[in-house]
Amino acid sequence: METYEKGGHAHHATLPTDALTRLRAAMQETQAHGFAKVKAEQQALGQKVRALFELLGRRAILVSI
């Protein structure tokens, strides 16, 4: 409480801010790379993972969004 009263911040109060800052940076990086390009790359990666699961005889659980 004393730290707060003196204008400081408790360590745990900075964690959400750090997470939001990192999320914003990741979103800006994704935007710079191109949303359509990232979507296509994610779909291609997903197809490769499903093919690998099939090759290994594993069942992939698909979720449609």
CA gap 46, 20 in Å, rounded: 27
Instruction: Give residue 12's pLDDT.
Output: 64
Residue that is written with structure tokens 């004393």 in the block:
2
Instruction: Give residue 6's pLDDT.
Output: 77
Residue 7 region, left (φ>0) first, then alpha (ψ -120 to 50), else beta? Answer: left
What is the tens place of the pLDDT at every residue in 5-63? Answer: 777 666 666 667 788 899 999 999 999 999 999 999 999 999 999 999 999 999 877 77
pTM over 0.75: no
